Amino acid sequence: MKHLQSLRLESLKRPPILISLLAVIVLLAVWYLGWMSPEAAKLTTINQQEQSLTAHLQTLQLQLQTDKSHSVLVKRDVRDLAIFAAAVPPVAEAGPLTTSLYNLSKWTGVSIQSLIDDTTAPPAKGAVIGSIPVSITLKGPHKDCLTFLADIYKLPRLITISAVSPISGATSVQGQSNVLANDNLPYTMSITGTAYFFAKP
């Protein structure tokens, strides 16, 4: 047994074996330092980049969901703003206002005897919304005048009614003096109201 151990130790002491062993150790060191360690560092960097990109992707997905929800609100707000812009335009626009009231009278079957929409009155100082006094005198059957009055609130332009003065064109029909008893009686109605616009700063 001792003889075998001495043979092994003797063999290890031989220069070729020692040189081979040192060469293997050097190659392992070069392999580790020259390839394994850099590749491990690259792998660590790639893993960190992957984690960073994953976190960024999650942030972008959350942002996309938020943008989608905002786009729905924007579409709704754009529609509402378009309606509001038609109801309260940035200028007085007496012409379109007069045209819309005239078209309404044709549609309801009444005739406008007089129409005053005074756009010359300046808005109050510091006011955001300017007002246009509107005075209309209609003539036609009772029911049609009431239809005109009701449909003013259906116009794209915002008009509020402050006073209505109905005047019958007939004093009596079959012993009745109440104009409301017959929807087809000749009828005159005076309407006082206000239209609105954005006042210039």
CATH number of 94-198: 3.30.70.60
Tell me the two tokens of residue 25.
Answer: 């150790």
CA distance 110 to 114: 12
The confidence score (pLDDT) of residue 152 equals 93
| Contact between residue 157 and residue 195 where contact means Cβ atoms under 8 Å apart | yes
In total, the chain counts a number of residues equal to 201
**DSSP letter string over 150-189?**
HHGGGSSS-EEEEEEEEEES-S-BTTB--GGG-TTSEEEE
Name, in order, each residue with C-beta under 8 angstroms of 86's C-beta and a sequence gap of 6 or more. Answer: 156, 157
- Give the Cα separation of 112 and 8 in Å (integer): 128
Residues 6+ positions from 12 with CB-CB distance below 8 Å: 18
Residue with tokens 């960097």: 45
| Residue 35 to residue 165: CA distance in whole angstroms | 99
Q: What is the pLDDT of residue 103?
A: 93
Question: What pLDDT was estimated at residue 6?
Answer: 52
pLDDT, residue 49, reads: 80
What pLDDT shows up at residue 59?
83
Q: How far apart are CA 118 and CA 135, in angstroms?
A: 9
Helix (H, G, I), strand (E, B) or coil at 32: helix
Low pLDDT (below 70) residues in the chain: 1-24, 26-41, 70, 72-74, 77-78, 119-124, 126, 168-184, 200-201
pLDDT in the model for residue 172: 46
**Residue located via tokens 């007496």:** 94
The domain limits of the chain are: 1-87, 94-198
Task: Give the largest Cα separation in the chain, rounded.
Answer: 152
The tokens for 16 are 């070729």
Task: Please give the Cα distance from 22 to 138 (Å, whole number).
Answer: 116
